Amino acid sequence: MTTAHKRDRHGFRGVPPPPVFDFDALPDGALLNEYETAAVGRWSTNTLAAWRLRKAPHRLRWVVIGGGRVRYRVGDVRAYLADAAPTKRKPAKHEPRSRATADAVPATQEPAR
């Protein structure tokens, strides 16, 4: 006896697995659906939907084609990923956590007399 998979009435609500296609080989004008775009960026499909609903314009552009279907151009996704790439930060300076540790003398040095 096999049980049929029951679909969630809300649709997919998570981060899809990595894409099975070669994103770098696609032309800039190719259109990706929401699921494919989320797979490329490793975002949740809910995240993409929330970005579209924000009042302020988001840097990841989308287009709406016939029937209200949302698509993302590969060139726009590439541009967003290039802009959103994390930059190297300077290492944080290690500061003493409290005054007691700042005044403490290391065990290898003897105090000045």
Q: What is the pLDDT of residues 2-30, one digit of tens each?
A: 555 555 566 666 788 888 889 999 999 99
pTM of the model: 0.64
Question: Do residues 76 and 61 make contact, with C-beta atoms less than 8 angstroms apart?
Answer: yes
The candidate with the shortest Cα–Cα distance to 76, out of 41, 112, 102, is: 41
More confident residue, 33 or 110: 33
Q: 31 — phi, psi (to 5°)?
A: -105, 135
CB 40 within 8 A of CB 84: no
- Please calculate the CA angle 70-71-73 and round it to the nearest 5 degrees: 155
